[in-house]
Structure 1
Amino acid sequence: MSTLTNLLVIAKEPLPGRVKTRLTPPYTPAEAALIAEAALADTLRTVLAVPARRRVLVLQGRPGPWLPPGIDVVPQCAGGLDERLAAAFAGCTGPTLLVGMDTPQITPELLDPVGHFDRDAWFGPADDGGFWALGLAAPECAPPDLMRGVPMSVPETGAVQRRRLVDAGLSVRDLPRLRDVDSASDAAYVAALAPHGRFAATLRRLTPVGAR
């Protein structure tokens, strides 16, 4: 894999009641926050293993002890997720890949196609209709409306965003489809795919309400 100029992770500070609210129930808000923190920690560990000149956490909130060295932190801007994604890319030049915190099963090998720089854009679709990864070879040349106005957190989010890339004249390489961690069943599925990470270990320690 060649070296990306920028590798971004967009995330929320894992605070009870602020993250993974769809895990409550069967988990308590505090447990949901622990699950979110583990997902973020595994994602950042993968980011550190991928060749990149700059690794950045685009964070809503404050960094905590879960943040490893070697990753810069910049605050998210105000506005909807489409505005925050656009702002994250606006601060970058050169090949840039952005991933979220909801797919702790990602590996450096999964991101390998991005490093070949053989497309204008890379797109990682998610099972729920969204996307887990978005990359641009030259974000400094991207039209300003490439992400702004894309409806977020709806079943057609991914389709609309990918169509924006194509309509802008960009060649697109699709990355493998992944399952986001939104529900308790999603969490169990993803933990089984990556049983040796912190995410899976955290899930094993917690007992959902109703099974206690």
Structure 2
Amino acid sequence: MTASQILVLAKEPRPGRVKTRLCPPCTPEQAAGIAAAALADTLDTVSATHVDRRILVVDGEHPAPPGWLTVPQRGGPLDERLAGAFADTRVAGAATVLIGMDTPQITAGRLAAALEQLHTPDGPDAVLGPAADGGWWALGLRDAGDATVLRGIVTSTADTGEHTLTALHRRGLRVAMLPELCDVDTADDARQVAALCPPDSRFALATAVIR
């Protein structure tokens, strides 16, 4: 079977640096707590997924679970950091799926299904998970070297996902689409995502502060 790895691109959940669009109604400390909960739940889910390597690609400092690798983010804009994450963790012959810390509702089954598509001999070269806001929540590549197409794509816009899909197609890749998910930017997003998480999850409990 083809080797596989999952990357989690994350930012140190420090007040004033993360989830600033939650303020108000949250305080910076509450927003950081929600971000920390989302990251913790995401790391738990990836830890429960059958994969050869799990890597935390972090901006700042944050401990990774036992058995994980940690790689610092590099580059300026997000497009450079995304491309850098794939480049800095690339292993020949390994399929790679990158996700962020903003979809704590993700399940191990959904991640495994994405990897399975990349392992299928006649399957796609890439899988892309669109986000409800027009971005994307996951990008999987059979060859991490193809992530160079991310450079120059403006992120955090309503057509980021569309531009990413176009760039992958222009490179000649076969792309399979994953289910659309909502990621957490605003208080309304947080409420919506919390309703999809187990009620005793860190994220669901952390978002109880939102009024």
Structure-2 residue corresponding to 1:83: 80
Structure-2 residue corresponding to 1:137: 142
Superposed CA deviations along residues 129-188 of structure 1, whole A, max 9, x for unmatched, are: 000000100113x273x1000011111101000111111111111110000111111101
CA contact (8 A) 1:3 1:115 kept: no
Number of aligned residue pairs:
202
- 2:172 corresponds to which of 169, 173, 176: 169
1:29 aligns with 2:33: no
Mapped to 2, the partners of 1:3 and 1:137 lie a distance apart of 9
Residues 95 and 143 (structure 1 numbering): CA distance in 2 closer, same or farther, change over 3 Å? closer
Q: CA deviation at 1:115?
A: 2.5
Q: CA deviation at 1:124?
A: 0.3
Residues 153 and 85 (structure 1 numbering): CA distance in 2 closer, same or farther, change over 3 Å? same
Mapped to 2, the partners of 1:13 and 1:97 lie a distance apart of 21
Mapped to 2, the partners of 1:115 and 1:10 lie a distance apart of 17
CA contact (8 A) 2:75 2:84 kept: no
CA contact (8 A) 2:18 2:31 kept: yes
Mapped to 2, the partners of 1:192 and 1:176 lie a distance apart of 17
SS of 2:55 mapped into structure 1: strand
Residues 53 and 28 (structure 1 numbering): CA distance in 2 closer, same or farther, change over 3 Å? same
Residues 23 and 3 (structure 1 numbering): CA distance in 2 closer, same or farther, change over 3 Å? farther
1:191 aligns with 2:194: yes
SS of 1:59 mapped into structure 2: strand
Where do 5+ consecutive residues of structure 1 fail to align? Answer: none
- TM norm structure 1: 0.91
Structure-2 residue corresponding to 1:43: 42
Q: How does 1:111-130 map to 2 (within 5 A)?
A: 111-116=111-116, 117=119, 118-130=123-135
Decide which moves more: 113-122 or 22-31.
113-122
CA contact (8 A) 1:143 1:168 kept: no
Structure-1 residue corresponding to 2:51: 52
Where do 5+ consecutive residues of structure 2 fail to align? Answer: none
CA contact (8 A) 1:130 1:158 kept: yes
Structure-1 residue corresponding to 2:204: 200
CA contact (8 A) 1:3 1:53 kept: no
SS of 2:150 mapped into structure 1: coil
- TM norm structure 2: 0.91
Q: CA deviation at 1:109?
A: 1.3
Structure-2 residue corresponding to 1:96: 96
Structure-2 residue corresponding to 1:69: 66
CA contact (8 A) 1:121 1:173 kept: yes
The percent identity for this pair of structures is 51
